[in-house]
Amino acid sequence: NDGPQTYLQMLRSGPRSILHFDVNEPGASAAIVTCGGLCPGLNDVIRELTIMLQTYGVKTIYGIIGGFKGCVNLDSWITLTEEYVQSIHMSGGTVLVSDRGNPPHSEIAKALQQRNVRQYFVIGGDGSHKGAMQSFEAMTALGHECAVVGIP
């Protein structure tokens, strides 16, 4: 094949000594959303992600209730703390309530920009990750720098 080729870069996961985003940036935050169907362990992922973000020094971590639909409704955003997530792994489903709805990703991007979300974690399957990519593209179009992480 003589045509242009696409190269993907994958990074090994694990702890980092240097973070791209400054956790001391005023107002900077992270957000976690669950989308699509339910599966065992969603609350475990939310809990461990919240605790690890706090370990790295992230001061504000939002949980978005109601999937992508909740992203555009800022009243659906809750603050996740170590106290809040302490025992959620003992409950089934997801404390963030999944939903299969899909509002315009430009609106999701504006909401994430409004809350100064610098790290956006989307927990879900193929459709959720496709939506996460569309949100990333919409944020890029707005000029809002935000890492979008898909967690299967």
Which of the four pLDDT bands, split at 50, 70 and 90, describes residue 1?
Answer: low
pLDDT tens column, 103-114: 999 999 999 999
Residue 18 has pLDDT above 90, yes or no: no
pLDDT of residue 8: 67
- Give the mean pLDDT of 135-146: 96
Burial environment of residue 84 by CB neighbours within 10 A (0 to 12, 13 to 18, 19 or more): middle
pTM: 0.88
Low-confidence winner among 6-10, 12-16, 51-55, 106-110 (lowest mean pLDDT): 6-10
